[in-house]
Amino acid sequence: MVSAIGVLISVARAAATALPGRPQPWPDHLLRRTAALFGWAAGAVYALGLAGVAWSESEVGDGADSTPAPACRMGFDPETIRGLTHHHASYFPLRFDCVREDGTVYASDPDLVWMNWTWAALALTAALLFLGRRYRTELRAR
């Protein structure tokens, strides 16, 4: 929730640099605010995926018919879940893998793949914008 609010605030602040009466020097403010926007967006996407992995992890051992993980069984055909023994959860990168008796693994939630790529791309963009702002300031000083 905090990350989503941060994204909204960052969007409003970045949009404010395009309006009349914008703060000066506006390119520096625009770079800083856009970097903040991408940083908050990366945090929001990561938090969403983290909540999904934590939810799947918390369902294990929580009542009847909860082992193996319900995330590994629901929505999959019987052939896929045959021989399911346990799972592995990872928070960096976000993963929730289901392991069969023969050692083969399948992902319980394919949406975690795009979430990993999205938050990583957003975080990298935020870092590059921040470094670009620093470099721009240094070039202006020379």
24 DSSP assignment: S
Strands, E, within the chain: which ranges? 84-91, 94-100, 105-107
3-class SS of residue 25: coil
Domain coordinates of the chain in residue numbers?
2-141
Q: Which residue has the higher pLDDT, 126 or 19?
A: 126
**Does residue 135 register a pLDDT over 70?**
yes
Determine the pLDDT at residue 137.
Answer: 67
pLDDT in tens, 31-41: 888 888 899 89
Spatial separation of the C-alpha atoms in residues 117 and 121, rounded to whole Å: 6
**Does residue 127 register a pLDDT over 90?**
yes
Measured CA to CA in angstroms, residue 131 lies from 32, 40, 62, 71, 121 at distances of 10, 17, 46, 40, 15
3-class SS of residue 87: strand
> Percentage of the chain with pLDDT > 90?
17
Spatial separation of the C-alpha atoms in residues 127 and 34, rounded to whole Å: 11
Spatial separation of the C-alpha atoms in residues 135 and 54, rounded to whole Å: 39
Helix (H) / strand (E) element for 17: namely: none
pLDDT in tens, 48-102: 999 988 888 887 877 766 677 777 877 788 887 788 888 888 888 888 888 888 8
